[in-house]
Structure 1
Amino acid sequence: MKHDAIEMSLYIQRLASWRGASLLPALYLISLRSTRSKILSTKLSSYTTNIPHSLTHSSNMTFVSNDPSYWPYISVNIFLSYWEVAAVVVVLYDWVLTLGQEIELIWRRRWSLMSVLYLIIRYIGIPYSVVRLLENMPSVSLTDAVSNIMYYASGGTNVALCAMLGVIMIARLHSMYQGSRVMLIFLIIIFLAVNIACAIIAAIALNYDVLEEHILSGTYVCDLSEGNNQLISIIWMLNTVWEVLALYLSIWVALKHFRELRRLGPSTGSTVGDCFRVLIQSHVLYFASFTGVSCLQLALFSPEILHSNSNSIGVSILRGALQILLVVQMFVLGPRLILSVREYHAKLVAYSDAETSMNSIVFQERVHVSTSSTV
């Protein structure tokens, strides 16, 4: 009985992990696949060899079971769908909050690469989150072929989104380094090396993945029945190196910038410093989200959770929080990175115009005084 309980716990962990797999950026594209695929395959094969043919779907041999032992997972499945709804609400709520900034800083400005990236990430995120919610609803049935197509499409979308976020980060760092050509070339080289390697590794890893539909007590779930987990660590390390490098470069130039502001006057230093601080705060928030997702992912793969009761409320909340953080990182903080850069430049332009206007007023007053004195 204890061995069966452990297998059931691993089964629940495996199926629940798949639910968030296609929401991950390239770093997490494969990491939610657990190492218990062989255990799951053995368990399902033992069930399917003993069940009547009437309990198997005629077209794709879908596994069907009304075994009460799967009810804990069904409860977890329904519980996690609530977190999917919360993720959709977060994306929509943030879009409403930033709609004014979007109109002012994106639609009313001359279009550029950043404008296109913003619109792609923002307006793919909303339908993407809704589709993911529909895919993961226990009441929606998907065939094995449809599940695989959606999984591969989601995986490709995640890799593309990760590359777009990298381009945004390069633009931010290039702006923070005062348009340094050397820094731009350095960032592009590192970015291409990391993302090309991750794309190749992700494509190889996806070839090992096979999704299968299971009908458990009238609810529909998808199982990731295969996987090559040896590639996870490579993608993990490459993306971590990129994120840590970006954070280090941001902090270093920020410290250097604020030291230089001390030499300026109090009004000039405070104004430019406030503008520059917007970039630092948004970057630190983005990296904090990245770190939080990493910590939650590592926690889910800890031995204590893998060999414990995976359908506990604590583990379920942990998975739900991970789903929300993933959506926030891709579709909330990503667009906000662009808005912060636009806001930074807008404040600098406004400050420069104010300084020019003030100098013009002072110059006119001096001319008027000197003229009246000569009369």
Structure 2
Amino acid sequence: MTLASNILFFGPFIKASRIDSYFAVASAVGLIYDWALTFGQEVELIWKKRWSLMTAMYLSVRYVGLIYSIIRVLLFIPVTTAVSPGGYLALDWMCVVTNAILGVIMIARLYAMYQKSRNVLTFLVVVFLAVNIANGVLAGIIMKDVSGEIVVLSGMYQCIVSFGGDSVFLGSVTWIFAAVWELVTLCLAVWITAKHFRELRRSSAGGIIGDCFTVLIKTHVLYFASFVPIACFNLAYLSPITQVEPYSMKRHIYVGFLQIFSLAGKFVLGPRLIIGVREYHARLVTDSDAATSVTSIVFEKHVYDGKCSV
């Protein structure tokens, strides 16, 4: 419903909306800049290679992130804010889907690192389904209680979105589930990496496989390291203390930085989970052209046979 309202009464909301728009533009520019920097690698390592599940995962995360950032900017344009309630819901579901895709990428990486162990795959799939089904249900409950109202302030459309019910508590639960999943995958990655490094000290192929596992664990640890502060910030934001003044400038600056970090974790570091390993493989193929036939055989056996392949 559209309302004509006094601009003085909605003054704090207008200031908060302006701050949100600044951060939305900043995050969009950051994602587009990162895409431009890595587009050359993307063409060589993704588009020109044989298509696979990981190719689809990479493209989904990368371009969903770009679409997400563009939609967020459009929501602050007066012409498009009339549909912003549905736009906010679309953004929330895009995050849910992206988290599920990143979970599939993690399963594929750990499955390869554990030499295609069915037990590990079964365990990961069970935990993944439990976490994502629970988070999907909770997200549906939260979004069911979301309400949006269009107000006209000095001839400009603005949307006020409010969350009802136990959205604060349910939101904190979803982040706890997500943190459990990230912690499980990190522990499994560190465990198998340490085990392989011990075994490969006595192996002639230790340099090849050791470097490959180094690439995997570095990208995984970097991704997890970005998740920890994001989770803490989200839990702090969902606390009742931050809900006292919903349109305060400090609160929206906090939310703005939180969204930038969250988008960077999902849509910048997420694609690098794949492209980092692809880059290592491409460099290894180039180096192997000048190596001996024995090195080439070791490379084929250990790298392309599923141990480090994404």
The interval holding the TM-score normalised by the smaller chain is: 0.7 to 0.9
Deviations 1:137-182 (A, max 9, x none): 4x34533xx3333233333322221111111111111122222222
Count residues in correspondence: 294
Amino acid of the structure 2 residue aligned with 1:254: T
5+ long unaligned stretches in structure 2? 297-310
- The counterpart of 1:255, out of the listed 194, 200, 206, is 194
- Identify the match of residue 181 of structure 2 among 242, 249, 253: 242
Superposed displacement of residue 124, structure 1? 2.5
Q: Are residues 280 and 103 of structure 1, via their aligned partners in 2, closer, same or farther at CA, if it must alter by over 3 Å?
A: same
Once the two structures are superposed, what CA deviation does each residue of 1:262-311 show, in whole Å capped at 9, x if it has no partner? Answer: 3346xx54443333212111111211221121122233345654447963
- Relative to structure 1, the CA distance from residue 119 to residue 286 in structure 2 (aligned partners, 3 Å threshold; closer, same or farther) is same
Q: 2:246, 2:129 → 1: CA distance?
A: 42
CA distance in 2, matches of 1:356, 1:80: 58
Please list the CA deviations of residues 89-122 of structure 1 after superposition, one character each: whole Å capped at 9, or x if unmatched: 1111111221122122211211111111211222
CA distance in 2, matches of 1:316, 1:226: 16
4+ runs of 1 displaced by more than 6 Å? none
Structure-1 separation of matches of 2:254 and 2:182: 23
Change over 3 Å in CA distance of 1:248–1:179 after alignment to 2: same
Q: CA deviation at 1:232?
A: 2.5
Alignment of 1:96 with 2:33, yes or no, is no
- The reply on whether 1:285 has 2:222 as its aligned counterpart is yes
| Aligned positions of 1:292-311 closer than 5 A | 292-302=229-239, 305-307=242-244, 311=248
- Partner of 2:159: helix, strand, or coil? strand
RMSD in angstroms over aligned alpha carbons? 2.7
Structure with greater Cα Rg: 1
SS at match of 2:115: coil
CA–CA distance in structure 1, aligned partners of residues 284 and 123 of structure 2 = 26
Residue equivalent to 2:56 = 116
Q: Paired residue for 1:330, among 244, 266, 272? A: 266
Cα 1:241–1:220 shift into 2, 3 Å: same
SS in 1 for 2:151: strand
| Residue of structure 2 equivalent to 1:153 | 90
Paired-residue identity, %: 47
- Please tell me whether residue 319 in structure 1 is matched to residue 259 in structure 2: no
Structure 1, residues 336-372: CA drift from partner, whole Å, max 9, x if none? 1111232344455556665543679xxxxxxxxxxxx
In the superposition, relative to structure 1, how do residues 156 and 338 fare at CA in structure 2: closer, same or farther (>3 Å)? same
Unaligned runs of 5+ in 1: 1-59, 361-375
Please give the alpha-carbon distance, in whole angstroms, between the structure 1 residues aligned to 2:4 and 2:231. 33
TM, length-normalised to structure 2: 0.83
Q: Distance in 1 between matches of 2:95 and 2:295?
A: 50
Q: C-alpha displacement at 1:218, in angstroms?
A: 4.8
**Structure 2 CA distance for aligned equivalents of residues 178 and 79 of structure 1:** 49
Q: What secondary structure, in the 3-state scheme, does the structure 2 residue paired with 1:329 have? A: helix
- Give the direction of change, closer, same or farther, for the CA distance of 1:359–1:81 in structure 2 (3 Å limit): closer
Relative to 1, partners in 2 of residues 1:179 and 1:348: Cα closer, same or farther, differing over 3 Å? farther
User: Matches of residues 114-263 of structure 1 in structure 2 within 5 Å?
Assistant: 114-137=54-77, 139-140=78-79, 142-143=81-82, 146-228=83-165, 229=167, 230-263=169-202
Q: Could you tell me whether the CA contact under 8 Å between 1:275 and 1:347 is conserved in 2? A: no
